[in-house]
Homo-oligomer: A and B are copies of this chain.
Amino acid sequence: MTALMLTRPLLRSRLSGEIENILLKGIIKGQLAVGEKLPTERELARDLVVNRSTVREALGRLESLDLVEIRHGDGVYVKNYLESGNLELIRAMIRLDDRQRDDIIAALLEFRTIIGPEMAFRAAENRTEEHLVSLEEVIWKNEDLSILEKDIRVHHIIALAGANVLYLTLLNFFNKFVVEYGYLYFNDQENVKRSQRFHEEIYHAIRDRNAGLARKIMKDVLLYAQNVVVDTLQIGKKSNRR
C-alpha cells in the first residue's frame, strides 16, 4: 500500500444522493426546524427538476437515518437529529461541517481511550484458543499486511474476544476513520515500531489471561495515539490562524 494512495476510487454521484445531502445539510445546520413539515414529494420533485421517484429514494434513506419521519397520507416531518442515536450522523456532521471536525474527532479519540482498555480486559478473560491463533496469524504470519491493516485486525480480534457486540460496532465505526486518516499516524516510523510492540505485548497479556495488564497496555497505546492526533489537530488550528 502506498502512503498517499494516489489512486482512490472516485465517488460516483447519484442524483438521489445529492438530494439526500441537500436535505441532510439543511437539517443538521438547522435550516429545517425540528417538527417542520417538508414540502410534498411532488413539490420537491418539481422544484428540484427531478422525478418523484428520485425524491422518494432520498427521503427513504433519510428516514433510515432517523432524520425524518414519513407519514403516509400526511407528509414528511423533520426529526431532531441530536436525538437520533445514529452513528452515521457523526460522519455526516464531519463531512458537512468542517468547523466541528476537530472537536468531533477529539471526542471520538477520548471515547475510544475510555472503552478500549475495558474491552481488552474482557478479551483477556474470555479469549479462546481460536482468538490466540487469529492474533498469531495477523501479528507474525501474513508479512504482506500493512501495519495499518494489521492494527485494525488486531483490534478487531480483541473486540471479538471481548464479546460485546456494541464495542464491535463502535470499533468498526472508529476504523472508518483509521482507514481514512491512519496513514498520517503511521508515516512516523517511530509509531510503526510502537504499534508492533503493542501487538506483541497485548498478545502475551491476553494469552496469559492477564486482564489487568492487557487493560494497561491498551490504555497506554490509545492515550498515546490520542495525544499524537490531538497535537496534530492543534498544529493545524494554529497554522490556519497565522
Report A's interface with B, CB cutoff 8 A.
Answer: 12, 14, 16, 53, 56-57, 60-61, 64-66, 72, 82-90, 93, 103-104, 107-108, 110-111, 114-115, 118, 163-176
The distance in angstroms between the C-alpha atoms of A175 and B82, with both chains bound, is 13
Given that A72-B12, A115-B114 are contacting pairs, would A165 and B61 also be in contact in the complex, using a CB cutoff of 8 Å?
A: no
Question: Within the complex, what minimum Cβ distance (angstroms) separates A36 from chain B?
Answer: 20
Partner of A60, one of B60, B90, B118: B60
The distance in angstroms between the C-alpha atoms of A179 and B88, with both chains bound, is 22
Question: Within the complex, what minimum Cβ distance (angstroms) separates A66 from chain B?
Answer: 8
Question: Within the complex, what minimum Cβ distance (angstroms) separates A73 from chain B?
Answer: 10
Question: Within the complex, what minimum Cβ distance (angstroms) separates A181 from chain B?
Answer: 16
B residues in contact with A114, CB < 8 Å: 114-115, 118
The distance in angstroms between the C-alpha atoms of A57 and B64, with both chains bound, is 11
Partner of A86, one of B104, B110, B169: B169
**A12-B72, A64-B88, A86-B173 given. 5 additional CB < 8 A pairs?**
A82-B172, A84-B172, A87-B169, A111-B164, A114-B118
* Residue contact A89 to B57, C-beta cutoff 8 Å: no
Determine how many copies of this chain the complex contains.
2
B residues in contact with A60, CB < 8 Å: 16, 57, 60-61
B residues in contact with A14, CB < 8 Å: 72
* Residue contact B56 to A111, C-beta cutoff 8 Å: no
* Residue contact A173 to B61, C-beta cutoff 8 Å: no
Given that A85-B175, A114-B115 are contacting pairs, would A93 and B169 also be in contact in the complex, using a CB cutoff of 8 Å?
A: no
Q: Which residue, A164, A169, A176, has most C-beta atoms of chain B within 10 A?
A: A169
The distance in angstroms between the C-alpha atoms of A82 and B167, with both chains bound, is 11
B residues in contact with A84, CB < 8 Å: 169, 172
The distance in angstroms between the C-alpha atoms of A210 and B87, with both chains bound, is 31
The distance in angstroms between the C-alpha atoms of A71 and B82, with both chains bound, is 31
* Residue contact A107 to B57, C-beta cutoff 8 Å: no
Q: Across the two chains, which residue of chain B brings its CB closest to A163?
A: B107
Given that A12-B72, A114-B115, A115-B115 are contacting pairs, would A169 and B61 also be in contact in the complex, using a CB cutoff of 8 Å?
A: no
* Residue contact B172 to A83, C-beta cutoff 8 Å: yes
* Residue contact B111 to A167, C-beta cutoff 8 Å: yes
* Residue contact B12 to A93, C-beta cutoff 8 Å: no
Partner of A170, one of B66, B85, B171: B85
